Chain A
Amino acid sequence: MAAFALSACSTDTPQSVLQPQGEFARKADALWDITFAIAIAVFVVVQGLLLYAIFRYRHKPGREAAQFHGNTRLEIAMTIIPALILLGLAIPTVATVFDLAAEPTGADVIHISVEGRQFWWRYDYTDLDIVTANELHIPTGQPIDLSIEGYDVNHSFWVPRLGGTQDVVPGRTSRLTLEADDPGTYLGQCKEFCGLSHSNMNLRVIAHDPGDFEQWVSDQQEPAAAPSDSLAAEGAELFVNGAADAQFAGGPSCASCHAIEGLDGAVGIIGPNLTHFAARNTFAGAIFQNNESNLRAWLANPPERKPGSQMPNLQLTTGQIDALVAYLQTLE
């Protein structure tokens, strides 16, 4: 089955757990290979015995059933043999459990605080002073120490090819170590049912060569540039102050929930930090490609595009959407 699934496709199955691309996923996969081989062997033997017994002893004229009640030696053997097989599995399992639980040490270990929220992911690079969303950028070839924090309900952080799962439990902090061998984009998603848009809570890990990663870090640490043209400036104004003719006039604006470094008044903490929004490939739980048409559709009615979205329908006019999209696209 595994071999079949493997041979079927390698690039077509971006979330396959059978194709680890990092140290930690590989350790889990190594255990699976042993276990799967043993399970197949046991399956063949036991299923074979069952089918053989049914076929061999099926009723034929003249066959009399032998009347025996058991066989003590055989019964002891068939208790001990499975127990020994399981003991053989237990030893590497427990060793790997402790191995994976060890916290990575060293000055170069990158610590990231991951928070699962309905229905997106917030990443806080605590040592680097970067806050971003949904797309987790990491350098290759080194362990990344994730501390997984709860916020609203249970979620589960999962990037199958890089290894492991860690539930997000409100009120608790857990940890998970990730590592990617090669640069690339690795898909993941929330795995613990978290409400209406559980299916729309995806994430991506984007692994860079260490040099490219440093470039990414310094780009991210820059504040957002001031808007260059008038439409974008109008958008920035709208972002912070809302609009007189919008339903939420005088009430919440974009900035009530979203922060943009470098834009005065944009310090909201409920929604994703949008400082370098235009540099992201996807948005809204990594389910939409970050392009103009998706952005327009999103701003027109978020809960329709993503059921249960915490971002309300702000009843924006087309002109307001034009301005906001123009501004957001300047946030490289």
Chain B
Amino acid sequence: MATAVAPQQGGLFARPTAKTGWWSWMTTVDHKKIGILYGVTAFFFFIVGGVEALLIRSQLATPNGEVLSPAVYNQLFTMHGLTMIFFVVMPMGTALMNFLLPLMIGARDVAFPRLNAFSYWVFLSAGLFMYSAFLLGGAPDGGWFGYAPLSLDPVTDGMTYYSLGLQIAGIASLAGAINFIVTIINMRAPGMTLMRMPVFVWMTLITSFLLLFAVPVIGVALWELMFDRLFGANFFDPAAGADPLLWQHLFWLFGHPEVYIMILPAMGIVSEVLPAFSRKPLFGYPAIVFSGAAIAFMGWGVWAHHMFAAGLGPVANSAFALSTMFIAVPTGVKIFNWIGTIWGGSVRLTTPFLFSAGFVSMFIIGGLSGVTHSIVPHDAQQTDTYYVVGHLHYVLFGGSIFGLFSGIYYWWPKVFGRLLSEKIGKFHFLLMLVGFNLTFMPFHILGLLGMPRRQYYFPANRGFEVWNLLASIGAFTIAVSILVFLYNVAVSRKKGEAAGADPWDARTLEWMTTSPPPEHNFDAIPVVRHRDDFWYRKYITTPEGESARVFAGGAASDEEQHSSEAASDEPPSSSAEGASDREPNTAGAAPPESSSEERPHAGASAEEQGHGIHLPSPSYFPLLTAAGMPVIGYGFIYSPILLAAGAVMLLVGAFGWVLEPPAEEA
């Protein structure tokens, strides 16, 4: 398509060439297709994790529930947590990053397209591997936090699946993180300085760095757990003199940055959606960016607030109480900046906007209940109760999931070329908002009334009945809202309104290209002169501080652009500005001789305009390499033969990958 010349077949295997159909998805290295794969897979796991939640809420709808046995209940709450964290929120963020990151920075793909495919297949392998445990004797049942020494319990292989499955998932996260970091550092369009990047790109960068440092920490812990379970090592076994508190420290040293890994992408989404629908630039862009970095940095110094009851002593508890309180400051800065973004705008209450506003609103509650955890003496009361379950769902559902849905509604037309129905979308939002609060607000009350977490039943006569029933009704309300979303998708696929390149009158580069974008993204790589560059190609800022449309297809003249730049607060010599000195680095980019070439090219076919752009060719090897990993995992549990087979797959895949050129030459 884009390469215009059929790839020549060479090497040991014939190179895959399919551009459509089953094999094209299996062998694709196109970041947009991989993004869609990530999104669909994450959504599938969202349904699975949701069904697990519904089973849990069925069990807990009434006192002494008997829907589930204790063994099954423990597997379900463990897998619900693991699924929603590792196989829903993280990959759903990755889906959007994958699809949007190159488009937002004006690149043709990510830096390492085959590594990108590899990340996806490893992530999928990890998910299927973990879930296969249900069929092979029992899923992980020691909680997502897997505290030792309970996690050493040899009754089932569940926690072995946990240690191996999460290690595999971690490989996917690491590969993805490195890929995104390199892409953002090296592949921005000419003029796209760091401080002109969309906030979503910034948050992707920060999240990727968090992953890069946090995943190895849990990797070490999981590796040690694996050795304890499989080879009789004694990292966590108190009977052999180990201190199981080591696991808690390692786990939460990963676990708390992980919270920010899940929330920062959603914060990035909200920071794109609110300006677009308020028709205003983001309020305090530098503050939003740097508070994101500050949260990521401080996020490394709060882990022990998960362990206030572990007996670390008053000095450690006080120190972590203070750090936990003060991480609320940069978080608060973001919330005020979002309100400032809406302030004075002309707010269109579209579905993406509503989900973003819902995010801010719910996140205020989750943030405030988070601050209450820093009150150590009271945290000792509420820790491990439903109060914490309520808090974490306000952050990860009211926060991350609302933010992700905002992103899904916002970018859906870009990804699939058709709009989702606004009417159904607003109904979805309303139902989900009501269901969400009905489910999780009672959790706070239950916790304060003394209901601990991870209980497979609750007794009567503790005052828990009515709140549990409300929560269960709420959970099913959320489920209905998800069905409404799926209906919306079905309607959109069948007869959705064509989106056009820029249905929202948006601000960032991804809206310059067609919907869906061609394989090579942009016919000509745009040259960036502003933050929100696309907006300033469409509008100038009048001296009165309002926007005026630039007519007749022309970009603003240099003087007008200058005036709008002056209106922004960015100092011309900010430290990040130095990055713009580098050469334009995208091979095949046409120099922007006239702005008309950069206009959306909805009418022109990609073949005509994209002639001669070289894109990496599809490859079997990322899939083969990734598929070796779960086989190795099974090998550790069941048989050295499988271990060898998995190693062969991995090695053949890796060597094939190394020996094939990134793109077949014409």
> Do A308 and B375 form a contact, CB below 8 Å, given A160-B450, A191-B384?
no
Cβ distance A332 to chain B, nearest Cβ, rounded Å: 28
Please pick, from B285, B326, B345, B461, the residue contacting A70 in the complex, using a CB distance under 8 A. Answer: B285
Cβ distance A268 to chain B, nearest Cβ, rounded Å: 19
Annotate B266-296 by CB proximity to A: 1 below 8 A, 0 otherwise: 0000000000001111111111000000000
> Do A2 and B383 form a contact, CB below 8 Å, given A9-B463, A153-B149, A169-B311?
no
- The answer, yes or no, to whether A108 is at the interface (CB within 8 Å) is no
Give the residues in chain A near B252, CB-CB below 8 Å: none
Interface pair A53/B342, CB less than 8 Å apart: yes
Residue of A nearest to B465 (CB): A12
- Interface positions, chain B 455-486, Cβ under 8 Å from A, are 455-458, 461-463
- The answer, yes or no, to whether A50 is at the interface (CB within 8 Å) is yes
- The answer, yes or no, to whether A297 is at the interface (CB within 8 Å) is no
Measured in the bound complex, the distance between the Cα atoms of B243 and A296 in whole Å is: 40
- The answer, yes or no, to whether B153 is at the interface (CB within 8 Å) is yes
- The answer, yes or no, to whether B132 is at the interface (CB within 8 Å) is no
Interface pair A86/B238, CB less than 8 Å apart: no
- The answer, yes or no, to whether B23 is at the interface (CB within 8 Å) is no
- Interface positions, chain A 77-103, Cβ under 8 Å from B, are 78-79, 82-83, 86, 89-90, 93-94, 96-98, 100-101
Interface pair A193/B150, CB less than 8 Å apart: yes
- The answer, yes or no, to whether A54 is at the interface (CB within 8 Å) is yes
Annotate B363-374 by CB proximity to A: 1 below 8 A, 0 otherwise: 011001101101
Tally of A-B residue pairs with Cβ under 8 A? 298
- The answer, yes or no, to whether A46 is at the interface (CB within 8 Å) is yes
**Among the interface residues B150, B318, B328, B360, which one has the most CB atoms of the partner chain A within 10 A?**
B150
**Among the interface residues B311, B361, B369, which one has the most CB atoms of the partner chain A within 10 A?**
B311
Give the residues in chain A near B454, CB-CB below 8 Å: 193, 198
Please pick, from A54, A89, A154, the residue contacting B375 in the complex, using a CB distance under 8 A. Answer: A89
Interface pair B567/A69, CB less than 8 Å apart: yes
Please pick, from A8, A31, A39, A169, the residue contacting B377 in the complex, using a CB distance under 8 A. Answer: A31
- The answer, yes or no, to whether B242 is at the interface (CB within 8 Å) is yes
Interface pair B371/A35, CB less than 8 Å apart: yes
Give the residues in chain B near A1, CB-CB below 8 Å: 441, 444-445
> Do A79 and B333 form a contact, CB below 8 Å, given A89-B375, A169-B245?
yes
Cβ distance A119 to chain B, nearest Cβ, rounded Å: 11
Please pick, from B310, B339, B365, B448, the residue contacting A17 in the complex, using a CB distance under 8 A. Answer: B448
Please pick, from A16, A49, A58, A64, the residue contacting B450 in the complex, using a CB distance under 8 A. Answer: A16
- The answer, yes or no, to whether A28 is at the interface (CB within 8 Å) is yes
Q: Which of B540-548, B589-597, B610-618 is the contact stretch?
A: B540-548
Q: Which of A170-178, A223-231, A270-278, A322-330 is the contact stretch?
A: A170-178
Measured in the bound complex, the distance between the Cα atoms of B377 and A166 in whole Å is: 11
Taking residues whose C-beta sits less than 8 angstroms from the other chain, chain B's interface range is 35 or more
Please pick, from B340, B349, B377, the residue contacting A28 in the complex, using a CB distance under 8 A. Answer: B377
> Do A86 and B364 form a contact, CB below 8 Å, given A57-B344, A98-B314, A192-B147?
no
**Among the interface residues B329, B343, B441, which one has the most CB atoms of the partner chain A within 10 A?**
B343
- The answer, yes or no, to whether B376 is at the interface (CB within 8 Å) is yes
Interface pair B361/A172, CB less than 8 Å apart: no
> Do A69 and B281 form a contact, CB below 8 Å, given A17-B448, A53-B339, A154-B147?
yes
> Do A69 and B569 form a contact, CB below 8 Å, given A1-B445, A17-B448?
yes
Give the residues in chain A near B243, CB-CB below 8 Å: 171-172
- The answer, yes or no, to whether B385 is at the interface (CB within 8 Å) is yes
Measured in the bound complex, the distance between the Cα atoms of B448 and A29 in whole Å is: 11
> Do A70 and B284 form a contact, CB below 8 Å, given A27-B377, A46-B364, A172-B243?
yes
Measured in the bound complex, the distance between the Cα atoms of B314 and A78 in whole Å is: 31
Measured in the bound complex, the distance between the Cα atoms of B380 and A86 in whole Å is: 19
- The answer, yes or no, to whether B437 is at the interface (CB within 8 Å) is no
Cβ distance A161 to chain B, nearest Cβ, rounded Å: 8
Interface pair B325/A43, CB less than 8 Å apart: no
- Interface positions, chain A 135-173, Cβ under 8 Å from B, are 148, 150, 152-154, 156, 158, 160, 163-167, 169-172
Taking residues whose C-beta sits less than 8 angstroms from the other chain, chain A's interface range is 35 or more
Interface pair B374/A28, CB less than 8 Å apart: no
Give the residues in chain B near A164, CB-CB below 8 Å: 377, 380-381
Annotate A25-68 by CB proximity to B: 1 below 8 A, 0 otherwise: 10111011001100100110011011101100111100111111
Residue of A nearest to B333 (CB): A79
Residue of B nearest to A161 (CB): B450
- The answer, yes or no, to whether B496 is at the interface (CB within 8 Å) is no
Cβ distance B164 to chain A, nearest Cβ, rounded Å: 21
Measured in the bound complex, the distance between the Cα atoms of B609 and A212 in whole Å is: 93
Measured in the bound complex, the distance between the Cα atoms of B354 and A51 in whole Å is: 11
> Do A101 and B384 form a contact, CB below 8 Å, given A66-B345, A86-B326, A94-B321?
no
Annotate B306-328 by CB proximity to A: 1 below 8 A, 0 otherwise: 01011101100110011001101
- The answer, yes or no, to whether A184 is at the interface (CB within 8 Å) is no
Annotate B140-172 by CB proximity to A: 1 below 8 A, 0 otherwise: 001100010110010000000000000000000
- The answer, yes or no, to whether A256 is at the interface (CB within 8 Å) is no
10 closest A-B pairs (Cβ-Cβ)? A15-B450, A174-B311, A13-B463, A170-B238, A171-B238, A28-B377, A65-B279, A101-B314, A66-B344, A199-B455
**Could you jot down 14 A-B contacts, CB within 8 Å?**
A13-B462, A31-B375, A65-B279, A71-B283, A74-B340, A75-B337, A86-B325, A94-B322, A100-B377, A148-B311, A169-B244, A169-B310, A192-B384, A196-B70
The chain A residues found within 8 Å of chain B, CB to CB, are 1-2, 4-5, 8-9, 12-18, 25, 27-29, 31-32, 35-36, 39, 42-43, 46-47, 49-51, 53-54, 57-60, 63-72, 74-75, 78-79, 82-83, 86, 89-90, 93-94, 96-98, 100-101, 148, 150, 152-154, 156, 158, 160, 163-167, 169-172, 174-175, 187, 189-199, 307-308
